[in-house]
Amino acid sequence: MHAVTPTRAKAPRAIFLSAPEVARRFEVNCASCNLRELCLPQGLAPEDMQRVENIVYARRRVRRGEALFNAGDEFKAIYAVRCGFFKTSVVDGEGREQVTGFFMGGELLGMDGVGSGRYHCSAIALEDSEVCVMPFALVEEIAREIPALQRNLHAVLSREIVREHGVMMLLGSMRAEERLATFLLNLSRRFVRRGYAANDFHLRMTREELGSYLGLKLETVSRLFSRFQEEGLLEVNQKHVSIRDSARLEALLAGRA
């Protein structure tokens, strides 16, 4: 999504946003954004598109290693990733980090705070990134008046539930090699949706962060990458990964490899 300067009388809601966010308004619009099909419902009337654009109050840049929000922060907005890459994570009582997800351009962050009014996890930029800031009060208000936007919001919430169930299955019932294969194939499909190559991409996360997400030790993740490369499934050069045989990766999940 791209942000526009608000034209509605509801601009005072900007008190919810920090000064740097308010300062980074842009005279651009969602209609020209190359990620609009990932963020917005299809078939919006021109007048509805203008109203939806007014939800996006600002853009915010987040440098690598910085937090977009932290667990326990008051829930005020959801964020559309315009460019860059984020991880979400929680910290247990002993100070250990558990990575709960990875998010790229066109995906929404912060939906976990809708129910309780607090973010349940922290969102950390894995590279210099930029997000569109959408105050949730405005999202709710306009969603009630534009059925397509409300349906899209419900679809996003549904995808979050499905994603969480998928992670539970990933950690609970799959062998280590199946977990890594599932992750790589899912990541490939997500890159394709954004117009990138299906079989050639750069991993933004560290092996340790990937292991935390998959429920695997760092040594296991490294060993699996080496094994997949030896078997001709992948070509790995540090964080750069090329999938050489996606059919065999798929077959691995089906137990046929």
Shared-domain flag, residues 117 and 221: no
Residue 4 lies in a domain: no
Model confidence over 176-198: pLDDT tens digits? 999 999 999 989 988 888 888 88
Q: How many CB atoms sit inside 10 A of residue 74's CB?
A: 10
Shared-domain flag, residues 132 and 21: yes
In this prediction, residue 23 has a pLDDT band, given cuts at 50, 70 and 90, of: very low
pLDDT mean over 62-83: 94
Question: Residue 65's pLDDT is what?
Answer: 97
What is the C-alpha to C-alpha distance for residues 100 and 88, in angstroms, rounded to an integer?
Answer: 5
Residue 164 lies in a domain: no
Least confident of 90-104, 160-174, 185-199, 237-251: 160-174
Shared-domain flag, residues 33 and 144: yes
Shared-domain flag, residues 36 and 138: yes
Model confidence over 198-211: pLDDT tens digits? 899 999 999 999 99
In this prediction, residue 30 has a pLDDT band, given cuts at 50, 70 and 90, of: low
- pTM for this model (two decimals): 0.79
Question: Residue 4's pLDDT is what?
Answer: 39
Q: Which residues pair with 236 in a beta bridge?
A: 241
| Domain containing residue 81: CATH number | 2.60.120.10
Q: Looking at 98, 124, 153, which one is the last position of a domain?
A: 153
Residue 197 lies in a domain: yes
Question: Residue 144's pLDDT is what?
Answer: 82
Shared-domain flag, residues 99 and 49: yes
Residue 206 lies in a domain: yes
Shared-domain flag, residues 39 and 119: yes
Shared-domain flag, residues 25 and 133: yes
Question: Residue 19's pLDDT is what?
Answer: 39
Residue 163 lies in a domain: no
Question: Residue 32's pLDDT is what?
Answer: 59
145 or 8, greater pLDDT: 145
Residue 66 lies in a domain: yes
On the question of pLDDT at 72 being above 50, the answer is yes
CB of 83 within 8 A of CB of 105? yes
| Domain containing residue 244: CATH number | 1.10.10.10
Residue 79 lies in a domain: yes
Residue 63 lies in a domain: yes
Shared-domain flag, residues 107 and 42: yes
Considering only CA atoms, which of 131, 147, 149, 148 is closest in space to residue 139?
149
Q: How many distinct structural domains can be found in the chain? A: 2
Considering only CA atoms, which of 193, 194, 196 is closest in space to residue 243?
196
Shared-domain flag, residues 109 and 209: no
On the question of pLDDT at 53 being above 80, the answer is no
The domain of 49 spans: 11-153
Shared-domain flag, residues 37 and 129: yes
232: left (phi over 0), alpha (psi -120 to 50) or beta: left
Shared-domain flag, residues 109 and 215: no
- Reduced DSSP (H G I as helix, E B as strand, rest coil) percent helix, strand, coil of the chain, to 5: 45, 20, 35
On the question of pLDDT at 218 being above 90, the answer is yes
CB of 38 within 8 A of CB of 108? no
- b/e burial code for range 125-159 (CB count within 10 A of at least 16 → b): bbeebbbbbbbbebbeebbeebebbbebbeeeeee
Q: Is the dihedral of CA 244, 249, 252, 254 positive or negative?
A: negative
Shared-domain flag, residues 121 and 52: yes
